[in-house]
């Protein structure tokens, strides 16, 4: 990294624009940073996240790659061996599987396998999650597969401000990072004036208390953080004070921040779009239970996508947790009447 | 119509015979003039040829030593290269220092000739470590177990070499079975697209564990590379001179901006797949006999003899070198300092990782209950 970091002044910026600015800064500050992927160059990516970067930095810094995900990641491994800092893009969540072997068997393990001699400072960007009315394979939440893989770090920004710094911190990280971008928020705007001063910048592995509260701890990440903040606002009307935690880092999980909150509130709700079984909610619920069982007033509650292949888009509103379903989970954590009451005899 | 399953391992000997691959030394030791390849090995003196012979003897000796060490319980497993010495010596000796190798598990010959300490390599198969050398010290990546995955790494590395303006190449090694993998085919797409200085070195040893090459390909493997727009050569992989010439040619082209090159070295795995394998279950003794007549060491020795070299002296020197290195390896291997439980938790990440630290500390506390520590010592000792 050069001593003098180049940054551009940002005003009202979209989530996608913040990522674009973060990528631009990373490319400008380190000549070893390379972007690669399908359609990312001339087109600027199907979501335009890399818009203009090839024109600015050249075809050798922003590579349009052949249409082969295993090849993109595998080639990036070789580039990392050679001292580059590749930032491959996987076009959509559901297309990461052809690269799964390279990610799990190579990217995640080479540092361990070589006794620390070879580092793989790769950031794999993946737009993820539903809510944009896409066809099959374009709305998935595959994060748990990667969270379960030692050797990888997994993160997800929840806002333009988070996106701007998190992408730069991920690229600067010496470990491989899977970077999940909540695609349905790409067009959300936020005023980023003064962001380059880095006042709210957190370390890559830290969770953020997105809103303070007293009665319930509500943990989420990526696309649902915004919904959870709305849940907290809605609950306020009923006198319920919710503390919202934006996980930010899915691996490792910052249990310190969650635990401190649960010790205060005694109640935990976790929300994610991904399926319930084996999901991050299970990990967080267990981790918190192990750490502060005696502070819990109620069993942890998970509000998640059902255990289904992602459904046709006309049905996605029934699948992705929304404000009301998360509120229902909050009710459950507070022992108030909720959708589970009749199953639990309450 | 019915489903056909081709279990033949003799494609190359069907109608066209041995001679439709590039050959410079016949099995009987006669030199075949070869206008294309001769200029690439004209510089070799008799001494150089004797060195190539010594290389092959040493590599074979290390291989048999490793097999013996496995039988004696010093190694958990070993993948023999018996029969593939010419392919590996020819390829390794064609490379220069800056070139980078991405090997599979079977290229112990290449790795050792590139400078990997054979004991370090054997420690991988002992289970004492995952790599145990720094790949940048001799430009040899850790051996790849996932069939074909390393071809991508070589292509990416080669792209990096080109971007850095370094005149060197990256070479991936893989078997005939690997050519069925998507990764190998994708890697050829990437290499051709970016004109990467990547050399694909396929050792067609006719078998992928129990599956003959006929189950992997219904055309010569080199032919497939041509379909990707990559120049390809089939070479007699038991002819060290031809392999050296062809690999030098390929590397030279790659280094000088000519893009990727594919080499199919036609050779034979004379031993089992690994020490855990029993090849009598799937292949004929007759086939082995056929290939014994094409032994890579014999043919160079016959050639040297025919050209008037003092073969007895060469053989004696080679044997001495082989005995010496085998003894060193045996001794060093037995002196291996085994890793400790603390090593278990190291190097998963570069940066601190709170959960791994927690698990390590917890395991330390657990061990202490039995008077043990993470460092493999007795607590309080
Ligand atoms: C992806 C993958 N599938 C299966 C295996 C198990 N396996 C190990 S070696 C081997 C045969 C490989 O044959 P080939 O590529 O011809 O190389 P050779 O062993 O003959 O050198 C198989 C199937 C593996 N290591 N990786």
Q: What is the mean pLDDT of residues A26-32?
A: 98
Task: Quote the pLDDT of residue B7.
Answer: 77
Q: In the prediction, which pLDDT does B14 show?
A: 43
Cβ–Cβ below 8 Å for B152 and A153: no
Residue B176 near ligand 1, beta carbon < 6 Å: yes
B170-207 per-position pLDDT tens digit: 999 999 999 999 999 999 999 999 999 999 999 999 99
Residue B5, pLDDT score: 79
- pLDDT tens across A64-120, in order? 999 999 999 999 999 999 999 999 999 999 999 999 999 999 999 999 999 999 999
pTM value is 0.94
| B207 Cβ inside 6 Å of ligand 1 | yes
Minimum-distance ligand 1 atom for the alpha carbon of B179:
15
User: Which residues of chain B neighbour A83 with C-beta distances below 8 Å?
Assistant: 160
Burial B132-158 (b: 16+ CB within 10 A, else e): bbebeebbbbbbbebbbbbbbbbbbbb
Beta bridge partners of A34: A86
- Distance (Å, whole) CA B233 – CA B244: 13
Domain ranges for chain B = 38-335, 340-380
Nearest CA to B354 among A207, A245, A56?
Answer: A207
**Residue A7 pLDDT:** 67
**According to DSSP H, which parts of chain A are helical?**
15-29, 53-57, 69-81, 100-101, 110-113, 143-147, 160-172, 224-236, 255-265, 280-292, 316-319, 323-333, 341-344
In angstroms, the CA B160 to CA B166 distance is 9
pLDDT tens across A238-255, in order?
Answer: 999 999 999 999 999 999
Is A124's pLDDT higher than 50?
yes
A188 Cα to chain B: minimum distance (Å): 32
- % chain A with pLDDT above 90: 96
Range name among A208-222, B16-30, B99-113 with the lowest pLDDT average: B16-30
**ipTM confidence:** 0.91
**What pLDDT is attached to residue B4?**
78
Task: Please report the pLDDT score of residue A6 as a whole number.
Answer: 61
When pLDDT is averaged across residues B130-159 and rounded to a whole number, the result is 95
* pLDDT confidence band for A2 (50 / 70 / 90): very low
Please tell me the predicted confidence (pLDDT) of residue A320: 97
**pLDDT, average across residues A126-154:** 96
Q: Which positions in chain B touch A255 (Cβ < 8 Å)?
A: 354
- Nearest of A162, A198, A199 to residue A180 by alpha carbon: A162
Residue whose CA is at the smallest distance from ligand 1 atom 4: B147
Give the number of other Cβ atoms within 10 Å of residue A8's Cβ.
9
Quickly name the fold that domain B38-335 has: Rossmann fold (3.40.50)
Q: Answer whether B146 contacts ligand 1 (Cβ < 6 A).
A: yes
Judged against a pLDDT cut of 50, whether residue A39 lies above it is answered with yes
Average pLDDT value for residue range A147-161: 98
pLDDT recorded at residue A3: 44
Taking any CB pair shorter than 8 Å as contact, residues of chain B touching chain A are 100, 102, 129-136, 141-142, 146, 149, 151-161, 163-164, 170, 182-183, 186-187, 189-190, 193, 346-351, 353-356
Q: What is the mean pLDDT of residues B315-322?
A: 98
Q: Do B102 and A105 touch (CB under 8 A)?
A: no
**How much is the pLDDT for B17?**
44
- State whether B353 and A252 contact (CB < 8 Å): yes
Q: DSSP for B2-24? A: -------S-GGGSSS-GGGSB-S
Tell me the pLDDT tens digit for each residue of B84-98: 999 999 999 999 999
Question: Which of B31, B195, B282, B360 is labelled catalytic?
Answer: B282
pLDDT (0 to 100) of residue B19 = 45
Confidence (pLDDT) at A5: 60
When pLDDT is averaged across residues B339-358 and rounded to a whole number, the result is: 94
Q: Residue A191's closest CA among A232, A224, A159?
A: A159
Residue in chain A nearest B162 by alpha carbon: A60
A10: alpha, beta or left? (left if phi > 0; alpha if psi -120 to 50)? beta
Catalytic (active site) residue B153: no
């Amino acid at each position: 990294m050069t001593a003098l970091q180049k940054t551009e002044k940002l005003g009202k910026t979209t989530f996608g624009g913040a990522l674009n600015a973060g990528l631009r800064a990373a490319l400008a500050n380190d000549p070893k940073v390379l972007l690669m992927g399908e359609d990312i160059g001339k087109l600027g990516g199907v979501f335009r996240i890399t818009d203009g970067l090839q024109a600015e930095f050249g075809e050798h810094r922003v590579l349009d790659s052949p249409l082969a995900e295993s090849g993109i990641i595998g080639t990036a491994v070789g580039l990392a061996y050679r001292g580059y800092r590749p930032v491959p893009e996987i076009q959509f969540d559901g297309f990461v599987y052809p690269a799964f072997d390279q990610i799990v068997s190579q990217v995640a393990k080479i540092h361990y396998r070589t006794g620390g001699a070879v580092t793989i400072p790769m950031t794999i960007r993946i737009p993820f999650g539903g809510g944009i009315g896409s066809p099959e394979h374009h709305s998935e939440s595959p994060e748990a597969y990667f969270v379960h893989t030692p050797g990888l770090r997994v993160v997800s920004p929840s806002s333009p401000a988070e996106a701007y710094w998190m992408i730069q911190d991920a690229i600067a990280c010496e470990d491989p990072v899977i970077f999940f971008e909540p695609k349905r928020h790409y067009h959300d705007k936020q005023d980023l004036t003064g962001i380059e001063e880095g006042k709210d910048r957190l370390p890559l592995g830290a969770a953020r208390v997105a809103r303070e509260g007293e009665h319930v701890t509500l943990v989420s990440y990526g696309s649902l953080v915004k919904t959870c903040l709305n849940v907290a606002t809605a609950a306020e009307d009923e006198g319920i004070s919710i503390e919202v935690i934006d996980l930010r880092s899915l691996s490792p999980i910052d249990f310190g921040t969650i635990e401190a909150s649960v010790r205060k509130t005694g109640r935990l709700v976790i929300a994610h779009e991904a399926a319930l079984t084996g999901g991050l909610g299970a990990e967080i619920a267990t981790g918190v239970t192990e750490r502060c069982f005696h502070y819990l007033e109620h069993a942890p509650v998970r509000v998640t996508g059902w255990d289904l292949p992602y459904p046709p888009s006309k049905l996605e509103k029934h699948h992705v947790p929304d404000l009301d379903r998360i509120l229902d989970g909050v009710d459950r954590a507070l022992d108030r009447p909720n959708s589970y009451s009749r199953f639990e005899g309450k | 119509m019915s489903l056909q399953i081709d279990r033949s391992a003799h494609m190359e000997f069907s109608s066209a015979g041995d001679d439709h691959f590039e050959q410079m030394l016949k099995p009987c030791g006669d030199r075949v003039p070869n206008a294309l390849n001769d200029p690439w090995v004209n510089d070799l003196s008799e001494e150089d040829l004797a060195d190539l012979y010594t290389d092959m003897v040493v590599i074979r000796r290390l291989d048999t030593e490793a097999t013996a060490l496995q039988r004696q319980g010093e190694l958990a497993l070993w993948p023999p290269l018996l029969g593939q010495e010419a392919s590996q010596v020819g390829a390794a000796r064609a490379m220069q220092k800056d070139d980078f190798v991405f090997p599979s598990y079977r290229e112990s010959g290449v790795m050792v000739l590139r400078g990997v300490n054979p004991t370090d390599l054997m420690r991988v198969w002992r289970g004492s470590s995952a790599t145990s050398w720094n790949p940048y010290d001799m430009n040899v990546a850790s051996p790849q177990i996932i069939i074909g995955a390393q071809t991508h790494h070589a292509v990416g590395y080669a792209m990096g070499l080109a971007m850095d303006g370094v005149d060197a190449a990256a070479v991936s090694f893989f078997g005939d079975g690997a050519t069925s993998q998507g990764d190998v085919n994708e890697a050829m797409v990437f290499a051709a697209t970016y004109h990467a200085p990547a050399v694909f070195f396929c050792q067609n040893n006719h078998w992928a564990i129990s599956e003959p090459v006929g189950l992997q390909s219904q055309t010569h493997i080199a032919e497939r590379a041509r379909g990707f727009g990559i120049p390809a050569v089939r070479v007699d992989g038991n002819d060290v001179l031809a392999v050296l010439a062809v690999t030098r040619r390929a590397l030279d082209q790659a280094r000088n901006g000519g893009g990727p090159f594919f080499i199919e070295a036609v050779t034979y795995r004379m031993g089992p797949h690994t020490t855990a394998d029993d090849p009598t279950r799937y292949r004929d003794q007759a086939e082995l006999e056929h290939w014994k007549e094409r032994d890579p060491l014999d043919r160079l020795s016959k050639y040297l003899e025919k050209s008037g070299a003092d073969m007895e002296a060469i053989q004696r020197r080679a044997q001495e070198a082989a005995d010496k290195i085998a003894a060193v390896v045996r001794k060093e291997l037995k002196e291996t300092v085994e890793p400790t439980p603390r090593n278990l938790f190291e190097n998963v990440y570069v940066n601190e990782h709170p959960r791994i630290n927690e698990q390590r500390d917890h395991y330390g506390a657990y061990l202490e209950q039995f008077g043990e520590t993470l460092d493999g010592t007795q607590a309080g000792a």
